[in-house]
Chains A and B, each alone.
Chain A
């Protein structure tokens, strides 16, 4: 059978390998590193500000820097952070996923239903695993649907995921009869699930693991490079024979999968399946991605930037709350900061 052209070995013997980053190129590399670090610099700056502005406890210690507070912040941003990590991939393909909040709600509902209404002859671990897998599968299914329509029917992602956002919300509400499904504090399997998954270690660990995995995938895999390529210039990608449809279906599926995961964590933390959860979460996720330096037009961006963006938003909110700023003022300040950050980033790029 004729081997595919893209996988045939080259005819020529390889030449000498020159050192990849030789002197004289270091300057260009260094400058690019500095651009990347710009988001980090902004993060460090916000941390410094937070330390300065933090109130002090009765014993004089800095409240912001307390281990408990810092882990609080990480916990508070984990759910939207997980969604944002996957959203990075979607936006890198010049797409967008507005349905993540609704999928999160679906995830909370499915896992809660699985834990409280399914009677399966498995042990606690088995039942919990089954419920979680069901929620993840539901999220992935929504994502796959999004991806298939975006790739197959050539409808703009904004429109497709807008429709899914509405439809999936309806599905979640229908599954739960529009009610919340309480997960109690007792000894039943649902309570065990909630007690375990809502632990800070698990929640924060999930965010870190997902961020690390996606970071790696984007950086070193073929799929990761294809994701950026499709977003950079889809026409060129088509002319180069890249598997565009497959890439798109996968990025949306991953987005749905991680939204489902976020839903599982949400259900554990809130001790309920809630079909009304996650409203406007897509905006928080997109804000984090954008502040982190990923361009909405695709092709340029990173997972590390998204993590930084998520942290910036979380720390900002924490600083304001520690100072008991009115929550409405809080929203306005956040909006201004987001605009400032994006303005700075985009002015740099247009040069």
Chain B
């Protein structure tokens, strides 16, 4: 690892709507190193990365690239310097193909008036190979699952000859295989002299792949350490400002009343899924990307036409033909993509929180703000949400806080069954613990929770039972001692015979 400095950011200050996201942060990346940028929710890591990549402008501060002071006021400036960023919420074009997405905005290509499709495919193939994407370059992006889209985003950064690639939470939607491929790519980049900045919460991954770690807290830089000279506990302490004890989640007992009974649920992408959900239970749903976990949620929430299947809630059969019907039947859903499907970005925290149950807080059609506020405060305490005021637009909150608002919205509804699709994606350790506690508190009040996640440790920690999907089918339900990371992966990859029945006993 060379010690020549590639990029240095000094005293960067940025405010959003009067709330300081960065209060004079400092950051320095050397040539050919993989550098992690960590911090709690709202610490400013995403903001700093965006400023370096030109996606946002700082209010003040200086940036030096290769020793020269530069001004990065647009993504184009960053691109010219050789800086690329891969966003947490991918900025790709769903209606274009993979090749077109990679090529778009590439200045070198723009000089050619016509580009043949074949040339385009050939040109972008090496980048796709580097990231291990197996899809054909002609595939339309919208047809891909999120994890594949992310690989395309990384491939695009590579195609722009980046000297510095910033990755904002790149592994949050990736399966373990894809993560391995990503790491391999990162190593290759490093060997080629490209520096990578890894904005992430996942300390395990960071310790595997990164050379250096910089910790931000509340918008300031706390410190920078080489990976070799520190450990996870020290980093977590720096992030939180307080030592974080490992809080084990108390799993309450589950009643034997069946809350939700699903049999033979079939849509275009899932086949014959059957399971029961008991009152007070947290049922995990695991599986590879594309196995049908989100599809299951969509089907239960009235977003899909059922080819076959019956759903019963509290013993009563229900016909769920639309989200409205689902809500009336007592089913809530926290979707995977909170920006597109979960929150109204221009509306305030208060408005988003109460949106699902607004009629509760009205008399004669007029909203009673006090009632609304009281309810909102109560539910936000449960999620430990930190926001400047209830009247700020949710677009000004950090990703983690946005997720908390979304969760609060559904908790306020107090549904019988709540389907959570990757609720802790892009959230730091401390906030995750808050969310697990919230989930369990809700379950102990009698709610039935379906918890989809790609993080197996999280599922094992939180769930009473874990259902594993494989290619649209229920490959089995594991519980107790049977549930281990290995057994889950085995079912998910179909490298073990599918377990029959729902109790998890081998056939």
A and B touch in the complex (CB under 8 A): yes
Docked-complex contact B355 and A242, CB < 8 angstroms:
yes
* A4 proximal to B (CB < 8 A): yes
Give the CA-CA distance A30 to B389 in the complex, in Å: 12
Among A9-17, A139-147, A267-275, the stretch that binds chain B is A9-17
Verify B365–A236 contact, CB threshold 8 A: no
Known: A29-B389, A300-B346. 8 other contacts (CB 8 A): A5-B327, A10-B412, A15-B377, A17-B374, A20-B369, A22-B389, A32-B391, A228-B344
Closest CB of chain B to A54's CB: distance in Å? 39
CA distance A238 to B325 in the complex (A): 11
Chain A contact-residue range equals 35 or more
From known contacts A15-B381, A239-B335, infer whether A299 and B359 are also in contact, taking CB-CB under 8 Å: no
Contacts of A18 in B (CB 8 A): 377
Q: Inside 8 A of B344's CB, which chain A residues have their CB?
A: 228-229, 232-233, 236-237, 299
Residues in A with CB closer than 8 Å to B335 are: 239
| A169 smallest CB distance to B (angstroms) | 35
Q: Assess whether A7 is interfacial by the CB under 8 Å rule.
A: yes
Q: Is A56 in the interface zone, CB < 8 Å from B?
A: no
Q: Bound state CA distance, A52 and B301, in angstroms?
A: 62
| CB proximity to A under 8 Å, residues B390-437 | 390-392, 409, 412-415
A321: interface (CB < 8 Å)? no
- A222 pairs with B362, CB closer than 8 A: yes
* Cβ–Cβ < 8 Å partners of B328 in chain A: 4-6, 241
Alpha-carbon separation in the docked complex, A20 to B414 (Å) = 24
A27 CA to B345 CA, complexed, in Å: 20
* A239 and B333 contact, CB distance less than 8 A: yes
Asked if A239 meets B374 with Cβ closer than 8 Å, knowing A5-B415, A6-B358, A11-B445, the reply is: no
A residues near B115, Cβ cutoff 8 Å: none
List the interface of chain B (C-beta within 8 A of A): 17-19, 301, 303, 322-324, 326-330, 333, 335, 340-347, 351, 355-360, 362, 365-367, 369-370, 373-375, 377-378, 381, 388-392, 409, 412-415, 445
Write out the residue numbers on chain A whose beta carbons fall within 8 Å of the beta carbon of B303.
239
Question: Assuming the A-B contacts A5-B327, A20-B390, are A15 and B18 also in contact, with contact meaning beta carbons closer than 8 angstroms in the complex?
Answer: no
Is there an interface contact between B374 and A299, defined as CB atoms closer than 8 Å?
A: no
Q: In whole angstroms, how far apart are the Cα atoms of A223 and B362 in the complex?
A: 11
A328 an interface residue at 8 Å Cβ cutoff? no
Interface contact B358-A225, CB-CB below 8 Å:
yes
Residues of A near B343 (CB, < 8 A) are 233, 236
Measured between C-beta atoms, what is the minimum distance from A235 to chain B in Å?
6
**Contact (A17, B355) CB under 8 Å given A233-B344, A239-B323:** no
Q: How far does the Cβ of B190 sit from chain A's closest Cβ, in whole Å?
A: 35
For A242, the chain B residues whose CB sits under 8 A away are 324, 355
Residues of A within 8 A of B366 (CB): 220-222
Tell me which of A24, A222, A229 contacts B359 (CB under 8 A): A222
A324 contacts B by Cβ under 8 Å: no
B20 CB → nearest A CB, Å: 10
CA distance A225 to B303 in the complex (A): 24
Q: A11-B445, A15-B377, A31-B17 are in contact. Are A6 and B360 (CB under 8 A)?
A: yes
| Interface assignment of A21: CB less than 8 Å from any CB of chain B | yes
B367 near A220 (CB under 8 angstroms)? Answer: yes
Specify which chain B residues have a CB less than 8 angstroms from the CB of A222 in the assembled complex.
358-359, 362, 365-367
> Does B373 contact A232, Cβ atoms closer than 8 Å?
no
User: Could you tell me the distance between the alpha carbons of A221 and B358 in the complex, rounded to whole angstroms?
Assistant: 10
Residues A15 and B374 in contact in the complex (CB < 8 Å), given A6-B358, A221-B367, A241-B326 = yes
A12, A220, A225, A235: the one contacting B351 at CB < 8 Å is A225
Q: Is the CB of B388 within 8 A of A8?
A: no
Complex interface: chain B residues within 8 A of A17 (CB): 370, 373-374, 377
Chain A residues with CB under 8 A of B351: 225, 229
Which residues of chain A are within 8 angstroms of B18 by Cβ–Cβ distance? 27-28, 30-31
User: Could you tell me the distance between the alpha carbons of A233 and B346 in the complex, rounded to whole angstroms?
Assistant: 9
CA A104 to CA B260, docked complex, whole Å: 54
- Give every chain B residue within 8 A of A10 (Cβ-Cβ): 360, 375, 378, 412, 414
Q: From residue A250, how far is it (CB to closest CB) to chain B in Å?
A: 12
Beta-carbon contact of B324 and A243 below 8 Å: yes
